[in-house]
Each structure stands twice: as structure tokens, then as C-alpha cells.
Structure 1
Amino acid sequence: MANPKHLYELLLDHCCSDAKVENLMIGLVWTLCQTTAKTNTGLAMSPGFPTRTLAWSGSLTGKSINELAGWIFKWNPYQASVAMAAINSCINSRPLPDSVVVENSGEHANLAVFEHFLPQLRNKKVVVIGHYPGIECYQNQMQLSVLERQPAAEDLPDSACEFLLPNADWVFLTASSIPNKTFPRLAELASNAKTVLMGPTVPWLSQLHEFGIDYLAGVEITDADALYHTAAQGGGVRIFERGLRYRIAELTPSLSMGWLKRQIADCVAEKYQLSQDMDSWYAAGNSSRYPKYALLEQVNTRLSRLDSSYKPLWDKHGSAAALLN
């Protein structure tokens, strides 16, 4: 297994921002973070069990997104969920990759991703990590196994992953596996399958192809206010009817390279602006450290990792990708 911390370091790279928390809400199903002026919103699945002893309740508004994002390494599930929502609020400030809109329609809008892939799934061995309400409707169309930490009905316990994932044709992996830290092992076990990372917790992270992910099925927020109120009022699958919709991106070499190139260009521009501001700061006679020096260091680190992700793709697929563009 590759360094399991690598994904989490990449997530923090993409969260280099001086944005502050405007609203932080831990709902029954979804945790939601909005930055100042509600310009960006991020989601993560809530832990799913109640607690009355969160020492930091009521103290997070006004804190920096960076500070909360650092909780992604915490083992406390509430802290990790807050961190994931904060990270997604930052990532969602950037343009989405080229992707297909999946319209939410029908009785089970939360199953739109499965409907999209259904022609490719029939009669295949399909393992779904995480129970999606209504998923059993596909039981007769594929060899379906649903793994769940708290199994119900026909679900299998999550420990079955060691036995089922290596032989699966398709794996649908809930992105809540990222904050709960099971993602690195699950992605490794699913390396022989077509793997879809899915759900509102999905971070639109260009480097996820490095972990064997073939498709991202994340969300695009279309109405932040409606989403906030729906989640705050206990909404689970109802958020798919109010405030967001699925988008699916296939992480082909061509798409990944184009996405990385755009992010590298944006990062270079951000670095240039910060460097110019720093020069002006010292030219004005200030002797103390430039106030955004830590942010500049984060941008440099992110740029280095983006370059490191782009180079092997170019070395392997560069000429072919150039012909496609």
C-alpha cells in the first residue's frame, strides 16, 4: 500500500486559503461548512451516532478553514467530518473538471449515479460500500453486494471487503471512507475493478486517479441556501431534490492531465500574486514576517505536488493525450 497519509496531505494542499467559517452545521445526516459571505459550501456525511460531549460546540464560527481542515487527521469522527466539510468548501471554490451532469429524477434521486452506470453493471459483480436507500431495487439486475459498517437487512459487514473487493467487476465506494480513514485500504482492495468514488462527501481532487479511482461521482451545489436548510432540518436523501445534483467525471489520462494543467496554472498565478504582495510588504519598510507567508508556503507545496502528479501522466500518456486535445 502506498503511504496512506498521502491523500490527506493532498487534501490539505487544496485547502490553502485564508477563508473563515461563516456557518458550520452538523446535521442528522450531513455536516455542512460555509465560508464567509457564503460564497463556498462543502459537505461531508455526519458520523451517524449522537453525542452530547463535543467540547468545541459553538466555537467554530470565524475560525480559519485551514485550522478546521487540519482535523482530517483526527480519529474523532466528528472532527474528521467537520474537516472534510471544510476542505470541500475550499475545493468547491475552484472550477469543476469536465464532467457529465446527472439529473436527479424519479423516486430515488440519490440513486442517479447507479442509473447512469446501469447498462454497464448488468450481470456484473458489483460491490457497493455504504448503504444507499433504495439500492436493493437493483438486486435482480446484477450480482450486488452492499457492505455497511452498521449492516441492516441484506447488507454485509464492512469486514467482507477483504473477500469481495478483489474479485469485483465494479466497486462503488462512498467518499465517507475518506474521513473515516478506510479509503486507502478499500481503494487498494478494489484495484482490479472499475472504481467509482461517490457521494456528496467526494472532494473534486485531480490526483484521485493515483489511488485507482476511475470515476468521481461528486456533487455540484446549485442552491446553497436550500441545501443548508434541508440538511439542517434532518434531510438525508432529500438534499438530492433541493440544492445539489450529481456530476460524473471519468478520470482518463487526458482529463486528468488537462485538469492538472489548469490547476497548475491557477496555482502559479496565486503564487505570483502572493510573491508580489510579499515584495510590496517588505518594500514598504515592514521588518516583521509577511502576514501571508504560511499561505505562500502552502501554495508552493501544492504546486510541487501538482507537478509531481502531472509528470508521470505526461511521461506515460503525453503524446496520446495531446492528439486527443
Structure 2
Amino acid sequence: MKEVIDLLIHNVPNIEDIRIDRVCLGLGYTGVKLEGGQMGVCHSLLSEMATTCCKIIKQAGTLAGRPALDLLSLTSSWDLGERVIGIATMNALSQIVFEIHPDRYAFEERNLIDILEVGREEVVALVGLIKPFTPILNSKAKQLYIFERGFQREKGILPDTACEEILPEADIVIITGSSLANGTVDRLLELAENARRVALVGPTASCIPDPLFKKGVSFIGGVRIFHPDRAMQIIGEGGGTPQLRQAAKFVTYRAK
């Protein structure tokens, strides 16, 4: 994460002058909109948060109008509520880099599964239950392993601790972007270093990707939000990924 933050500080012009327009911590996603209109999101991970006295963020009511750098610093917080706001801010600032350097990365609006080209004899590991992916991957791969955190897992889904044993043997590894928020991404990428292809996917993964590419990520499936006010409304009303499609384009990008 630190590498991404350093890149933003050096690549976003006048980053110290950029301020926050609005913050919304919804049931599914947390959204941060900059005064310039750029917006980033992060999976809220409410099931993993510790709440006290009906509050999640102690700074609630003070975030709008603050310097973006203040909220960006929350990416290193051990408080998960603060951390998801930091990640959403990181993704919002990343959109400025994408705007300034549109040719730095290869963007595609193709399905990530098609781009990965899963072979019939390949073992696929899906870290995080992404339900739209599972029937397609089951039909293409020799074996699909799905890992999920928490105690209420569906039948056939392994605990995320099983990644330690299975990821090193997988041919293709697909990791949810939520791993950026819960702090597991670096270890997961280490475990996946033998994989033919590694993908990081989900709206939470919509940051400048250079450090992730250096750590072995082949593709990133993220979002570009084109209607931030609509996206904020969706998040505030408890919407998730399907509803977010009304306000964002889901894109896959890779290094050129």
C-alpha cells in the first residue's frame, strides 16, 4: 500500500491542495468524492468492523472539506472503518492519474474471465466469493477452489486460511480487491507467485496498479465512476455492485 501512496504523492499535481467533497460509508461500499469530481470506492467490510456506541467512524461529521492527504493517510490505520475510507480516497486520487496519463495502461471493457483464458487442465483459486464468476470458472477449469473469510461460509467454500496450502499450487489466482482493505493482499500475492496469471478484481482494486504489477499481478478488474453523485446515492441507499453499474464502467487493465 505504501508504494501506491508514494506514487500518488509524486504523480498527482498539487495533491496538497485537493480537498474532500463528500464521504459516505454504506452497507456495501464506502465512497469518497473529491472536490474535482473524481470518486473512489472501497468494500465497507462492515462484518469485520468493531462498533462502539452505535458509531463506526469517530471523525464522522468532520471529513468533508478536509485535505485529501488527511484521508489518504488512513490507509495505514489499524481501525478498519478508517482504513476503508483511506482506500476509497486512494482510489479517487488514482482517477486523476488515469485522467492525466490515459495511455499509461491498457484498458479494456472485456470480461476478465475471457482475458484470463482459463485452460481445461488448470486449477483456479478464487480468493473471495465472487458469485458471478463461479459458474463460468467451474465450466472452464479442471478444479476451482473458493476461499472466504468468516464463519458463515456456503457449502464447498474453504476458509481463507487454506490459501496457505492451495494457492502455491494454483495455475490462476483471482483475488478480491477487498484484500487491499483487510491487509491480506501482500501475503496472498506471495502465495500466488507460482501462478501463470494473477488477477485482482473488484471496485476496491481501482488504484494505480504499478506496485501491484511489480508484485506479480497480471490484470486488475476495477471501476471508472462516470456519475459520482449517482454512485454516492446508490452507496448511501445500501446498493452493491449490481446497482453501482448504473454509475460506473467496469474495466480491466494491465501494464503496457
| TM-score of the aligned structures, taking structure 1 as reference length | 0.67
Structure 1 residues 101 and 60 mapped into 2: Cα distance closer, same or farther (>3 Å)? same
Over 3 Å counting, the alpha-carbon distance change for 1:163 and 1:22 in structure 2 is same
Contact 1:74–1:80 (8 Å) recurs in 2: yes
Is residue 10 from structure 1 mapped to residue 4 from structure 2 by the alignment?
yes
Identify the residue that residue 134 of structure 1 maps to in structure 2. Answer: 132
Counterpart Cα distance in 2 of 1:118 and 1:196: 8
1:153 is matched with which residue?
155
Work out the CA distance in 2 between the residues paired with 1:99 and 1:119: 17
For the 8 Å contact 1:204–1:218, the answer to whether it is kept is no
Mark the runs of 5 or more structure 2 residues left unpaired by the alignment: none
**Structure 1 runs not aligned, ≥5 long:** 1-6, 104-111, 256-325
The aligned residue for residue 92 of structure 1 is 95
Measure how far apart 1:67 and its partner are: 0.7
How many Å separate the matches in 2 of 1:126 and 1:98?
26
Q: What's the counterpart of residue 71 of structure 1?
A: 74
Residue pairs, 1:157-306, within 5 angstroms: 157-193=159-195, 194-202=197-205, 203-251=207-255, 255=256
Contact 2:108 2:253 in 1 (8 A): no
> Deviation at 1:240?
4.6
User: Which protein has greater RCO, CA pairs closer than 8 Å, 6+ apart?
Assistant: 2
The SS at the match of 2:131 is coil
**Structure 2 CA distance for aligned equivalents of residues 91 and 48 of structure 1:** 24
Q: Indicate the structure with greater helix content.
A: 1
Tell me, what secondary structure is at the counterpart of 2:203?
coil
Distance in 1 between the 2:202 and 2:120 partners? 21
Deviation of the 1:214 alpha carbon: 1.2
Does residue 41 (structure 1) correspond to residue 48 (structure 2)? The answer is no
Identity of aligned residues (%): 25
TM-score scaled to structure 2, two decimals?
0.84
Alpha-carbon offset, residue 12 of structure 1 = 4.2
Partners of 2:234 and 2:244 within 8 A in 1: no
Whole-Å Cα distance in 1 between the matches of residues 26 and 121 of structure 2? 37
SS of alignment partner, residue 228 of structure 1: helix
Count the aligned residue pairs.
Answer: 236
Match of 2:112 in 1: 113
**Counterparts of 2:247 and 2:179, CA distance in 1:** 23
